[in-house]
Amino acid sequence: MSEPLNEVISLEVDPHEAYERGKTDINFFASLCMPDIFVYALPPFYIAVWQLLAQRKPEDVGRLLRFALGLPRGHAKTTFIKILIAWLIVYDHYRFVLMVCANEGLAENLLADLDDILSSPNIEAIYGAWKSNLITDRSDLKKAWYHGRAVILAAKGAGSSLRGLNIKNDRPDLIFCDDAQTRENDESPTERAKLLRWMSATLFKVLKPRGDRLIIYVGNMYSDECLLKQFADHPQWLSLITGAILYTGEPLWPELFSLEELRESFLHDEALNQADLWFAEIMNDPKDSAKSLLPSNLPEAPDHEALIANLDGAYITIDPAGFRNTSDDNQIIVHGVSDGKGHVIASDRGILKPDELIQKALRLALKFRVTVIAIESVAYQQSLCFWMQHFIQHLGITGLHVVEVSPHGRTKEARIRQFIQECYAGNYTLACPATRADFVWQALAYKVGKKDNKDDLLDACAYGIDVRNEYWHLIGIREGLDEAYEKAYTIADNTPF
């Protein structure tokens, strides 16, 4: 995690030294532009974007670079691009910048912010006067004599007329599109196609015909048909797209959003049945129903507390995963049966040693009065069955059966899909709100056809169908809460493994 760059204090620095440092340090330059905003260092991903655009190889200068950038909502993507454009201007890379947003008002606000940066005391002290050199100062157009050359900044709304952009026989050499496509536009195939035609036939054609030219398209991955996705898939576009959580499991910009905060925002949206929108906006990962485990929102579940109070049976499935720090979570799922339908009513998880896993499972078994504990009979899991039975006998628990379940030749994805089908058919529900949210999280993040998905919770839930089908005669409700329930919380850590 980055430390704050600095406190906002007044310092006298040599303008030449600041100029030279700003040329090679985007964090330093950002702090000059917005000292009250950029108090934390930019994450490595942002620095990589700057290096890509600002440090082009000599053989690439003079060619048109089309660049698509996807950053999550709330992660300062527009502010970062303002800083980047300011850097490209003050270091004399581009001289005619056309900014395009979803409408003219947004574009003019963007232009005003860039104008404020260029005319700020820090930037003028180091890079020269901007405000006093403005020849044209309109809300949609700024023209200045800057560094001995004409510099033009123009703002337009998506779909607007671009006539008159040939100013003093010059055309834009940099086009910046910031959220030019809205979600509403993407949801309409007609409007989406219309915007794409305008960009291809009108916007991109106003670029100057020669010289160093750059198109930057910044947006969100609304769907598999949105413009960002189309540009990212195009062989003549270069793209960098990331979500708020990196492939390592760490947050993209932890000072802005911790993992806990990101998860909280997901749980909020999932409770409103908007988890797919969260993945699109925050993870830049649209969920195409044809390629997703969850083609639509899961059906509503019955009241959790009322369901638990009226169960006809209960049982547990366990997906053991080891106890190293790199292991998946061990998953313990409590299932209930009511009126012939299955329900996930509780769960526990963690990177647990075998004895810890057994103790947690037994506590849940006694709390919910289950009669069956099912463990996948693969590899060391078979020995786990033995030790589970050992603990049950040691505690004097009766009426609790330990059984094995197996894949029966099915792939894990096939088992999970079968369980989800049962949920949509109304034969199974995810009645525990916390477990339901975790299930949706894993299911939406699941990449169909890949082998390295995190699917421990999905698989542990899916085995509930196998237990129901194979051990129905053993499923019931244990009568009473005997002394073993209290013993399970004080059992000594004395296992021989």
pLDDT 10s digits, 345-367: 999 998 888 888 999 999 999 99
305-323 pLDDT tens trace? 999 999 999 999 998 875 5
Q: In the prediction, which pLDDT does 490 show?
A: 44
* Torsion sign across C-alpha atoms 478, 480, 486, 487: negative
| Under 8 Å between Cβ of 372 and 401 | yes
Domain 304-487 has CATH 3.40.50.300: no
> Can you tell me the distance from the alpha carbon of 335 to that of 317, in angstroms, rounded to the nearest whole number?
8
Average pLDDT for residues 335-352, to the nearest whole number? Answer: 93
The better pLDDT of the pair 480, 152 is held by 152
The token duo for 215 is 């198109």
**pLDDT value of residue 164:** 62
DSSP 199: I
189: CB partners within 8 A, 6+ apart: 225
Contact 241, 227 (CB under 8 A): no
pLDDT of residue 103: 95
DSSP secondary structure letter of residue 476 = B
Q: Where are the domains of the chain?
A: 15-241, 304-487
Strands 330-338 and 213-219: unpaired
Q: pLDDT tens digit string along 398-441?
A: 899 999 998 888 888 999 999 999 999 999 999 999 999 899 88
Please report the pLDDT score of residue 312 as a whole number: 95
Q: What is the dihedral of CA 136, 138, 141, 144, to 10 degrees?
A: 30
CATH code of 15-241, in short, is: 3.40.50
Q: Which whole number is the average pLDDT over 138-163?
A: 93
CA 265 to chain centre: 11
Q: Of 322 and 45, which is predicted with more confidence?
A: 45
pLDDT higher than threshold 60 for residue 189: yes
Residue 291 scores a pLDDT above 80: no
- So what's the pLDDT on residue 343? 97
Radius of gyration of the chain (CA): 29
Model confidence at 494, in pLDDT bands (50, 70, 90)? very low
Residue found under tokens 């890509």: 52
Rounded Cα distance, 208 and 291, in Å: 41
The pLDDT of residue 416: 93
> How many Å apart are CA 490 and CA 480, to the nearest integer?
20
**pLDDT tens sequence across 451-485:** 778 889 999 999 999 999 999 999 999 986 555 54
What is the tens place of the pLDDT at every residue in 218-229?
999 998 899 999
CA nearest neighbour of 429 among 300, 308, 339: 300
Residue with tokens 């797919």: 276
Q: Which of 11-25, 69-83, 339-353 has the lowest mean pLDDT?
A: 11-25
The count of other CB atoms within 10 Å of the CB of residue 202 is 14
Q: Cα–Cα distances in Å, from 406 out to 262, 386, 409, 417, 464?
A: 35, 16, 8, 16, 12
One fold for 15-241 and 304-487: no
Stretch 4-28: mean pLDDT: 77
pLDDT for the residue numbered 273? 81
Confidence band for 450, pLDDT divided at 50, 70 and 90 = confident
Over the stretch 370-410, which tens digit does the pLDDT of each residue have?
999 999 876 556 688 888 988 898 888 989 999 999 888 88
Q: Nearest to residue 153, comparing CAs of 164, 133, 139, 132?
A: 139
Percentages helix, strand, coil for the chain, rounded to the nearest 5? Answer: 40, 20, 40
Whether the pLDDT of residue 344 is over 70: the answer is yes
Q: What is the mean pLDDT of residues 99-111?
A: 96
Its pTM stands at: 0.75
